[in-house]
Structure 1
Amino acid sequence: MAAVVLPVVVGEVARLLGVPPETVDCEGTLVDQGIGSVLGMDLVDALNAALELDLGPEVVYDHPTPVRLAEEIDRRRAPTPAPAVSGSGLDGNLDDPVRRHVAALASVPVDVVVPDVPLVDQGINSVRSVDLVDALNADLGLNLGPEVVFDHPTPAALADHVRSVLPGPADPASVDPAPAPVEARPAPAANTGADGAGDDAPPGDAIAVIGISGRFADLPDLDALTDALWAGESRVR
């Protein structure tokens, strides 16, 4: 189909420059042949009208020679390819957010976006790549940086990367195990013996008073000191 599109491009370039079509250099840059910014917009308008397209003015800068411009137009007018199938499960899906946003930015149908063709060759230049990253971040709640488009330069590669950073279900191995239940200790048995210890008291919980000693302020024992204090005596010396 490029053989059909290229003569149209060359013819419009020649018309705008006022030169014979055979003098147009198909491999030379349009700007070097006299198609500046103003004539570039006129060229895009003429091609849109002739080929029933909706090209933006940036197409002349992204595809700066007649041959490359014709190839880009040919790609956009190509029949819809069969959806690709990839291990990512994303890039072959027409609802894949990567392809959807690429299509929106390149002003083409989603099914025209080719998974394994570099994004730059599908109309995603440096400015649009920033817009693509912003759109993916907003759509998927991610925090991708603009360099991701250069590190993963095709829709398929970018889709694989997006899939790898999307939050997924928690890995059971990474979840802390539940704490082991605490075994309840039996309540101590009630004291029933005369000495208060109780015959059934667990040995580990029994309390025994071994002895007591001290200085009792010139009194013979603790009982005498207690009686003196209760009587209001001061035993401070």
Structure 2
Amino acid sequence: MAAIDEEGELRPDGTLTIDGLPVAVVYFRAGYTPNDYPSEAEWRARLLIECSSAIKCPSIAYHLVGTKKIQQELAKENVLERFLDNKDDIEKVRKCFAGLWSLENDSIVISAIESPELFVLKPQREGGGNNIYGDNLRETLISLKKDGSNELAAYILMQRIFPPASLCYLVREGTCIRENAVSEFGIFGAYLRNKDRVIINDQCGYLMRTKAASLNEGGVVAGYAFLNSVFLT
């Protein structure tokens, strides 16, 4: 990103150029954690990209929509009504939400300290290996509250989900094991817009990932989960 700050240029028509060459698409393989922005150069590069007419994958708006904080805001009362008109649809969506709370909610924080096994403490991160569970959750909450840390706003508490487990064969590096496992089914979406005009907004596939039921984390890239497929019976 620092190289983009150094070599990038925004033309009057909105075209982003790098070393004089126009850029049509910017794909963010990185840029999702504070470690990706070690100096002001990276922030300037991100702003340059966002101000350009290049297709961003994701744009800053789409990036923020995927954060835990936005999930928490969507779960609040009367928020879904801003986006959906049908009451039945609103209730169906709301039933899918787990509990989500900010650490400003003292009663929930106390409940999590007393019963950490019922909660997950989540920072604004993706990719697995970032969430906090069990005794570590309790210790982290006590430390954050004791210090009056400004980091409180960087976390949310989420109700822990306990899905049913089933026997499954898991294969890694040619080795197969039979173990109780749980799966997560996710839908891929394609969204493309030009300012306020939506060009594409559709589902375009799915991802099924499966992990051993004994594991807390579930990231595939982080090495916790396995790619899987749906078998309908």
Q: Which has the larger radius of gyration?
A: 1
Is the TM-score greater than 0.5?
no
- TM-score, structure 2 as length reference: 0.25
Write 1 or 2 for the structure with the bigger share of strand.
2
- TM-score, structure 1 as length reference: 0.25
